[in-house]
Structure 1
Amino acid sequence: MDPVVALERLGGHASARQLLRLTTRRRLRKAVERGRLLQPARGRYMVPTAAEARIAGARLTAVVCLRSAAALHGWELKVQPTSPELMVRRGRKLTAEQRDGVVVRWANLAADQVRDGVTTPLRTVLDCARALPFDEALAIADSALRSGLVTREDLDGIDVRGAGAAAVRRVLVHADARAANPFESVLRALCIEAGLAVEPQAHRRDCARYNLLVVRGWRVLRFTWEQVMHDQAYVRWVLAEVVRPVGRPEAGHALAQSA
Structure 2
Amino acid sequence: MAHSRTRRDSKSRTETVDVATDGRSTRWDEHRAQRQGELLDAAVSLIEAEGPRFRVGRLAEHAGLPRSVLYRHFKDRAGLERLIRRRVVDAFMRQLEPTMRFEGTVAESTRQVINAYLDWVVSHPSLYAYVGVGTHSLSDGSVVADAKTAIARTLADRFREVLDSIGVHDAPIMPIATGLVGFVDATVNQWVADGQEATSEGELREILVLAAEAILESGLAYLGVRIPPDQPLKDLLVP
Task: Please confirm whether the aligned pair reaches a TM-score higher than 0.5, indicating the same fold.
Answer: no
* Greater RCO (CA < 8 Å, at least 6 residues apart): 2
Higher strand share: 1
Higher helix share: 2
> TM tier, shorter chain?
under 0.3
Q: Which entry has the higher C-alpha Rg, 1 or 2?
A: 2
Normalised by the size of structure 1, how large is the TM-score?
Answer: 0.25
